[in-house]
Amino acid sequence: MEDNSQKSSLRKLFLEKRDNTSFDLMNIASKQILKRLKKIRPFKDAQKIGAYYSIGSEIPTQDIIQEVLSSGKEMYLPRVTGSEMEFRRIDDFSSLERGSFDIMEPRQDCPVDNSLDVILVPTVGISPKGVRLGYGHGYYDRFLAKNKTVTIALTLEKQIIRNIPKSEHDVLIDWIVTEDRTLESSKVR
C-alpha cells in the first residue's frame, strides 16, 4: 500500500509520543477508556465484537477482550492471511497463537465471521473527522472497505491531531475514545 511521506513522518512522531507514555499513565488512561467505551450505545448493544490484541504502547485491550468473553457476547480478533485480514471467533485466550507481525491472533481452526456489529481499531493517530493513521499496511482499510460495520478507535488524547492527510483508500472511523472524552467523528454526524 502506498504511503506518502507526510503520513510516514506523522506516524513516526506519534509512535514516539505514544512509546514515551509511562506505564502508570497508560494504565490510568486505559481504565478511563474502558469506562467510556462501555457507555457507547453501538458497543453496549453489540453481540459480535471485533477487537485487536494490543502490542507495545497500544491501548491495552486484553481486559476489554476478557470482559466481552465473560459477558457471553461473541469476541473476534483479526488473523492476517496474505494481504488480507479476516476476523475469527475466540472462546478464550487459549484460542490465540503468535501470528503475523508477531501479534497474537486466532488459531486457524477458529471460525471466521466478518459481519461484526462493532470493531475496535488500532490507531497510531487520528483526526476528529475520523481519518485514522494506522501502521501503513492497509489491512484495516481493505477489510473495512468490504465489510461495513461500526468502528471505534481507542487512543490517547495526545494522539488526536487536527488534520491527517486522507488517502483515497482510507476508511473513516465512527467513534474515538480517549482517556478524556468520547467523540463521534463527523462521519457519524
**113 within domain boundaries:** yes
The set of cell numbers assigned to 71 is 459477558
Is 126 a member of any domain?
Answer: yes
CA distance 86 to 84: 7
pLDDT at 186: 65
pLDDT at 2: 44
Q: Is the pLDDT of residue 93 over 90?
A: yes
How would DSSP label each residue in 117-133? SEEEE--SEE-TT--EE
Question: Is residue 189 in some structural domain?
Answer: no
Residue 188 pLDDT exceeds 60 = no
- For range 112-136, the mean pLDDT: 92
* pLDDT > 70 fraction of the chain, expressed in percent and rounded: 96
Structural domain containing residue 77: 5-184
What pLDDT is stored for residue 3 in this prediction?
52
Name the phi and psi angles at 19, rounded to 5: -65, -25
Q: Residue 138: which region, alpha, beta or left (left: phi > 0; alpha: psi -120 to 50)?
A: left
Q: How many domains does the chain have?
A: 1
Contact 159, 184 (CB under 8 A): no
In a domain, 176, yes or no: yes
Classify residue 101: in a domain, yes or no.
Answer: yes
- Which pLDDT score, from 0 to 100, does residue 189 have? 46
Q: Give the chain's mean pLDDT.
A: 90
Give tens-digit pLDDT for 60-77: 999 999 999 999 999 999
**Domain of 94: which CATH number?**
3.40.50.10420
Per-residue pLDDT reduced to its tens digit, 6-63:
888 888 888 888 888 888 888 899 999 999 999 999 999 999 999 999 988 899 999 9
pTM: predicted TM-score of the whole model, two decimal places: 0.91
Q: Is 17 within a domain?
A: yes
**Residue 135 falls within a domain, yes or no?**
yes
